Amino acid sequence: MANSDLTMPLAISPQYSDWLRRERRSRLTVRAAQLAILVVCLILWEILPRLQIVNPLFTSYPSAIWPTFLDMLKATPQQASIQTHTLSTIVATIVGFTAAMIIGTAIAAALWWWDTLYKVLDPYLVVANAMPKTAFVPIFYIWLGATLSIYGMSLAISLFITVLMIYNGFQGVDPNKIKLAQSFGATKAQILRKVILPGSVPTLIAALKVNAGLSLVGVVVGEFQSANLGLGYLIQYGSQIFKMNIVMTAVTILAIVSSLMYLAIAALEAAVMRRR
């Protein structure tokens, strides 16, 4: 019968409540250890420069970041506010990975549709994927200009891996499911729409996970070169004028942004997988 019927709500036995307690304790231990690592790192970062064990000029302090952050909230004639910088980076990242997902899925679908096209392009895709895309930052700057080169870098860095991952996902759909659809007389477009795409949702989410991280890398690297806006620019600017407070504040915000992105995708994954 249905699997869900197997776990009957029984009265809680002493053994079961024991087991629950052990489970809870082990979960708490993991959380506590995770938090401890973060705290220890922050403490070391605060203490080592203060004791002059490392040069504070190079590392700044965690306690300096909050005042710097508050300071940067206000825009000055020379400098946009930190919110504007952060927003610019986030928008470019979202544009980058959305474009990579849409274009990547479209290319993967084309490769699935025309098998010969895949056979022809396969070596180029593999090489393009293996190439260090960051080497193209100056070239993109020349070709695309200040703003577009950031989007370009973000897309370039995540597109090829997206195509390869999604194409592999398409190939991994059970051929018998395709045979089943064909036995009803399904056209190729119907097979793509009703079998291949819905059957590849787990792959699409895996690609999205990889993509979001890579797009952020692409945006920050792009901003190093070309922008006067964005967290990548702030890092570059701060290090040039040797203001580590600015650099570390930008890095901290980047860490928070990527954590939030990870959480958002994990929530999406949980929502989609509940139906499977």
Residues that bind other proteins (CB under 8 A): 1-4, 174, 176-177, 179-186, 190, 194-195, 198-199, 201, 275-276
Structure-token pair, residue 267: 């929530």
Which two three-digit tokens encode residue 205? 């989410």
CA-wise closest residue to 249 among 262, 263, 235, 233: 235
Say whether 75 sits in a helix, a strand or coil: coil
Q: How far is the CB of 161 from other proteins (least distance, A)?
A: 25
Nearer to other proteins, 50 or 188 (CB): 188
Which is it for the CA torsion 172, 175, 176, 179, positive or negative?
positive
Main-chain dihedrals φ then ψ at residue 37, nearest 5 degrees: -60, -45
CB of 275 to other proteins, least distance (A): 6
Which residue, 2 or 142, is less far from other proteins as judged by CB?
Answer: 2
Helical H segments across 172-196, by residue range: 175-183, 188-191
For residues 25 and 23, give the distance between their C-alpha atoms in angstroms, rounded to a whole number: 5
Beta carbon nearer to other proteins, 205 or 257: 205
We find the least distance from the C-beta atom of residue 101 to other proteins, in angstroms, to be: 19
Query: Toward other proteins, which CB reaches closer, 54 or 181?
Result: 181
Residue 97 and residue 158 in contact, taking contact as beta carbons nearer than 8 Å: yes
* Residue 75 contacts residue 137 (beta carbons within 8 Å): no
The least CB distance from residue 43 to other proteins, in Å, is 48
Q: What is the DSSP letter of 259?
A: H
Closer residue to other proteins (CB): 8 or 38: 8
Nearer to other proteins, 161 or 196 (CB): 196
Shortest distance (Å) from residue 229 CB to other proteins? 42
Q: How far is the CB of 241 from other proteins (least distance, A)?
A: 54
